[in-house]
Structures are given as C-alpha cells and as structure tokens.
Structure 1
Amino acid sequence: MASIFDKNDNNLIISRINALTPETQPLWGKMNVGQMLSHCQAPIDVAFGDAKLRSNFVFLLLGRIFKKKILAAPKFKKNSMTEPSFIRTDAYDFEKTKTELIARITRFADEGTACIKIDKHPFFGKMTFEEWDNLQWKHLNHHLKQFGV
C-alpha cells in the first residue's frame, strides 16, 4: 500500500488533487468538489491534534471492533458512514480549500510521523503510525476516486 509519509506517494495524491477543477463532478455521493476538499481536511486535523472529536464508550467499543476490518479492507466502501462533524454542506472557495488540503498532505511527507499528535483515535482507540497512515491514505484515495482522479 502507498504511504502518505512517502514523498513520492504523497506527490501522487497531490497531483490527483491538482487534476480537479471547480466543475469536477462526483461519480457518487452528495458532496461537490469544494465540500470534498474541505471534508478531507477534517480527519487530518484530528490526527494533527488540531480538532477534537467527542467520543463515548459505545463508539469506542464499536470502533475497536470495526478497526481491524476497516484497516484490512483494500478500500473504503461507497457511501460509508461519516462522522457528523465531517459532513460538509456549505459552499467553499475551490482554490483556497484545495491549497489548504495540499498543505496538510504535504506536512505528512515533510514532518513524517512527528505530525501525528495523538495516538488514540476518538473511535478506533490506540493507533500506530502505520494505522494512521493506512486510514489517511484510504480516506484521501476514496474521495479522489469519488471525483474520478
């Protein structure tokens, strides 16, 4: 599997983002391209410790049960459940939001695992850097495929 921490793999993701335009339409789902670019920043902000998610015992219990299944799957399923705070319905400036996402993705390659500031995912519990890598890569790849890049 590709790695968000690897500069070449990281550049591949960024080149796919750069292939998007404000007119790019989704192949499935409800988000437009600007919403998707903003949505993709949310789980990165959690990993960087810049956003906090509330969790509870039930979510942690379910998350730990599903963690291995999600991380072992080759890709995310279409129309999977979304953390409610990650849902985007507003209008976003395409260029600004694209630049913000690229800056976050670049940080993975520039800083390596040091950019991950939390070791306990709000739903999946304790996670290794490899698990964070897997989760971030799959999430970005999923949404870029959603928009055909």
Structure 2
Amino acid sequence: MQQLDPARQPTWGKMSVQHMIEHYAGDAVRNASGRLKMDRIITPPEKLGSMREFLMSERPFKENTRNSLMGEEPGNLHFNTVQAAIGALQQELIFFFEAFARDPQLVTRNPFFGDLNFEQNVQLLYKHALHHLRQFGVEPLNV
C-alpha cells in the first residue's frame, strides 16, 4: 500500500488510495484487534458456516463487494496525506499483533464473519488487503 501512487484511480469502486488505506486501518484492522467493537453479527446464523468457509479459502472477495456498514460514497478523509494514513495503518497493525500477543485466546467479533480468533483475523486481513490492492491494479506475486 505504501508504494501505491496516491493519484492512482481504482479499476473499480469509488475509493481513492487514501480512502482505501483509511478504511483498511480504521475499520478492518481496528475491528480485528478489538479496538473497534461490533456487538452485532449481521450475517444470518444459518449462513455463518459458509461465510467462514469462504473466509478460510483462497477465493477472493468479488469486485465491488458491497459493505452494508458503509455508505454509497466514501466518507471524509481523516488524515491530510496518504503518508499519515499509512502511519496510522502501521500503528493499528502493531496494536493488532500486541493485542493477540497479550491474549492469544482473544476472540473479536466481525459483523460479517462472526467471532474470530487470531488465525481467522489474519486470514481476513490478508484477503481484505489483497482485495483492495487488486482494486488499484496490483496483483501480488504467488497468489
């Protein structure tokens, strides 16, 4: 994400590079670490099993996957620069790994995939990062 040109346009979706980084740090990583607490699981209980199966698979998120917790348009930016957003992302990732180092049995609630342990959160963050990198035309090697 650090190497993306901030002016690069997405191949799909409405987020700018900075919106994407802020979303990933502020929503995805904060939720995975437990800093952004979600009380509700919006996925119906009968579908959670198939959602978890998808999560742990190598199947990617589809382009333009709709997040019902986000608006149709990207929100206001929280940082003045992409570099500042990257700095916030780095801090959130540090907090994530520290939270699970302090409590390896920690489980955090994701509104779509339910209660997740460390391994499941890492898989979700990985899958989510690949999704957004592809949004900006980056195809990671060996994926």
Give the TM-score range, shorter chain. 0.7 to 0.9
- What CA distance in whole angstroms lies between the structure 1 residues aligned with 2:102 and 2:133? 22
Give the Å deviation of 1:47.
1.4
**Residue 141 of structure 2: aligned partner:** none
Helix, strand or coil at the partner of 2:64: coil
**Residue 89 of structure 2: aligned partner:** 101
Asked if residue 123 in structure 1 is aligned to residue 108 in structure 2, the reply is: no
Of residues 97, 101, 104, the one that matches 1:114 is 101
Give the Å deviation of 1:124.
2.2
**Residue 56 of structure 2: aligned partner:** 71
Q: Give CA deviations for 1:48-83 in whole Å, capped at 9, x if unaligned.
A: 111122415x63513344221233143211111214
Bigger RCO of structures 1 and 2 (CA < 8 A, at least 6 apart): 1
Mapping for residues 23-38 of structure 1, pairs under 5 Å: 23-38=7-22
8 A Cα contact 1:22 1:34, kept in partner: yes
Give the Å deviation of 1:22.
2.1
8 A Cα contact 2:10 2:136, kept in partner: yes
Detail structure 1 runs of 4+ shifted over 6 Å in the superposition: none
Q: Give CA deviations for 1:26-53 in whole Å, capped at 9, x if unaligned.
A: 1111111111011111111011111122
- TM-score w.r.t. structure 2 length? 0.73
Root-mean-square deviation over aligned CA pairs: 2.7
Mapping for residues 1-20 of structure 1, pairs under 5 Å: 17-20=1-4
Moved more, 27-36 or 85-94: 85-94
Flag structure 1 segments of 5+ consecutive residues without an equivalent: 1-16
- TM-score w.r.t. structure 1 length? 0.70
Of residues 65, 72, 80, the one that matches 2:65 is 80
Helix, strand or coil at the partner of 1:126: strand
- What CA distance in whole angstroms lies between the structure 2 residues aligned with 1:83 and 1:40? 15
- What CA distance in whole angstroms lies between the structure 1 residues aligned with 2:102 and 2:44? 23
- What CA distance in whole angstroms lies between the structure 1 residues aligned with 2:118 and 2:60? 18
- What CA distance in whole angstroms lies between the structure 2 residues aligned with 1:128 and 1:66? 15
**Residue 45 of structure 1: aligned partner:** 30
Higher helix share: 1
